[in-house]
Structure formats: C-alpha cells, structure tokens
Amino acid sequence: MNTRPAIDESTGPISLAVAFNQDSSCFAVGLDTGFCVFNSEPCELKVSRDFNAGIGVAEMLGRANYVALVGGGRQPKFPQNKVVIWDDNKQQAVITLEFRSPVHRVRLSRSRIVVALQNSVHVYVFSSPPEKVSVFETADNPLGLCCLGSKIIAFPGRTPGQVQMVEITTGNVSIIPAHSTPFMAMEISPDGEVLATASETGTLIRTFSAANCARIGELRRGVDHAQIYSIAFSPSSALLAVTSDKATLHIFDLPNALPKSRNGSINSNRTPRNSNSFSNSGSGDDVTNQKWGILGKIPLLPRVFSDIYSSTSAHFEVDDNPQFELRGRSSIPIPGIPGGRPRKGIIGWKDEYTILVIGAGRDGRWEKFILGEGEDGNRLLVRGGWKRYLGN
C-alpha cells in the first residue's frame, strides 16, 4: 500500500530568488513560473510575467524597464549559462550573454553588466551588442558575490578571503586581504567610499576604505558562528545593517561616519552615535564599548570585550523549515539558485530610518523595521509591519 502523503500541487508560485534594486525602492522576485517586481514601501505588486518556467536570478536596473534574468528551478525558462537582459516595455529579450558554466549573479548599472560565475567575473559595457571589457579569475564563488558601485567593482579574489577591487574608469585592480576564510557577503556603500565584508565564520564584519584599501573598522555580530545572509549600508553610508541565520537584524554605527539629518544633509555638529560613543572629553582613542563597560578598557583581555557591537537589533522571520522543499519534493539543492537555496534576510534601506527585509522560498516574506530612539536615548529597532508578498 502506498502510504506516502499526496503532493499538494495547489499552491501558488514559489519564490526562488529576491533582490532589491540599487536604491531599494523596488525588488525583483524570480519565481518557479516567471518573475515579478514589487514596490518596496508599501509592498505592492507592480509587474508580473508568467513564463510557466523558472527564473533563478532576477536583477533590476534601478526603476528602468530592464531586468537581468537567468533560468532556475526544476524547469528553467532559460539555460542557466545564459544571461538575458529583458526589456519589459518590449516584452522581449534584447541582450543575451552565454557562458561555459552556470551564472550565479548579475549586477547592472547604466554603464556596466557584471556577471559572476563559479570561478570568474565578466565585465561588459552595457550596450547593444554588449562589449566585453575584462574577465577576472576568482576563488570558488558559489553565491555569486559581486558588488557594482558607481566607481568600483568588488568581488572575491583568487585566494579565499581576499577581495579584488577594480576601478571602473581605469581598470586598476587592488587586492584586500579581508578574511582567512571564504566570503558569505560583501557590499559597497552608496557613496562608493566603503566596502564591508563578512566571511563564512560569521562573527565579524570588516569595513575597508575604497580609496586606499585600509581597514576602517571591525564590527562584531556575535561570538558564535553564523551564516551571514545580507549586508547593507544606509543611504547616508553612516549605518550598516546585517542579517544572519540567527534570525536577527543588527544595526551598526560605522566608525568615522557623520550622521545625516532627516533631510539628507550632513550634520557636522553631531557626534557619530554608536555603541562605542565618544566621550565628551578625549579623542576617538577613548572609545569604549558599552556592551562590556569598563571591561573594554582593560588591557590583555580577549578582543571580544573591546570589539564594536551593534547599537540595536531585532528579530526577523525565517522559515521554520530551512530544508526548503519545492512542490513537496525532497530537500536537495535547487538548480540555478546561488547556493542551491532561496535567499533569506535580504536587506534594503528605504531611508535612513526604515529598513526592509525580504526572503525567498515558499513563505516569501516582506518585513519593515523602524529605527528610532528609546527613552534612554539609545537606538531602538522595532518591527513596523510584515506580509507574505506572494499572498500564498
């Protein structure tokens, strides 16, 4: 007798991939049936395209009509070694790039197309036809990590834990020895001045100057290992948000960053606020960590006592079952998705005080968090709403 439970095929589309656009005003969702685009705040569906086949990578170009698509899932719409630039106004592909191995990630700007494969990154001029500018070898990059800023492109180097940083105008390459283990996340600040990285250890986030590759700071998420899901800078580049598989959203005040007022202008009269706030008398060398108080000043103690911790944090929702099942099938890596699993905890800053967190999977969620101040004057992060954006 067959005692296996029946497979429920009545569910709606399943989210395979999610990604914000450059200013986090929208996000694209790759589905097992096509793709769609949502307005970020409020979370509302803008565009839905049914291909009756899967999209494993969907990357937007700002709010323009171009979306970079790569096939994914059990029944991919396109071969997984091809990048299709989709013009949604024309409802057709206008550019196709083909490679010898599967594509893990695509990043777009108005001047460049950057494609990350398992062991290489390819850079093109965004034109028709596209012009290949350069190819860079990398260490294994199963997550397709790659950052495209206005001035630089950053991606893993040939050695695990090293960053290659390329100046877009000159092509000059700099190498940053950021970590001793492979990367889990990296991001460039909106002003293009700072690079943040996290390794698979997941305890520290390091920040580096894009101008001279010097390390700016080291931020401690925690003392136990974690899988970092996402790193994102605030619009002013003064704050950094981090999510991990601990289902916690952390907010860090970046060292040497000047906060901005609500109208976006720099407020030079204010002191940078963080869990290591400057004392009224003394220089930056007098910074202490409020998490451990006086212990942060005692020499020879483990560095965990003197590290910079997040100024506030909040819980976000992650699927109860991380062993993702597609249409009731057993949990095996899903083809055409970086890492083989739908991404969780992807961060987007709507403004300096509103953080959005989205995730793919059967239970595709959108969550909003508001950054404010508590009665004690310290930062306070509270959840301001949530929804299942696919309505499943």
Q: What angle do CA 104, 54, 142 make, to 5 degrees?
A: 15
The DSSP output letter for 126 is: S
- Asked whether the predicted pLDDT for residue 317 surpasses 70, the reply is yes
pLDDT score recorded for residue 11: 64
**Which amino acid type is present at position 248?**
T
161-215 tens-digit pLDDT:
999 999 999 999 999 999 999 999 999 999 999 999 999 999 999 999 999 999 9
Q: d(Cα 144, Cα 140) in Å, to the nearest integer?
A: 9
Residue 332's pLDDT is what?
65
204-221 residue pLDDT tens: 999 999 999 999 999 999
User: Higher-confidence residue: 336 or 146?
Assistant: 146
In the predicted model, is pLDDT for residue 290 greater than 70?
no
Percentage above 90 pLDDT, the chain = 73
Q: What tokens were used for 105?
A: 């990630």
Nearest to 244 by CA among 222, 263, 262, 214: 222
Residue 269 confidence class, pLDDT cut points 50, 70, 90:
very low
pLDDT at 381: 97
- Model pTM score: 0.85
Q: Which helix (DSSP H) or strand (DSSP E) does residue 291 occupy?
A: none
Q: Is the pLDDT of residue 261 over 60?
A: no
Give the count of beta carbons closer than 10 Å to the beta carbon of residue 59. Answer: 25
β-pair type (183-188, 15-20): unpaired
Write out the DSSP string of 317-363.
Answer: ---S--S--STT----PPTTSGGGS----EEEEEETTEEEEEE-BTT
With tokens 């990043």, the residue in question is 107
Residue of 373, 375, 316, 372 lying closest to 346 (CA atoms) = 316
Residue 263 vs residue 202, higher pLDDT? 202
Ramachandran category for residue 336: left, alpha or beta (phi over 0 → left; psi -120 to 50 → alpha): left
pLDDT at 392: 61
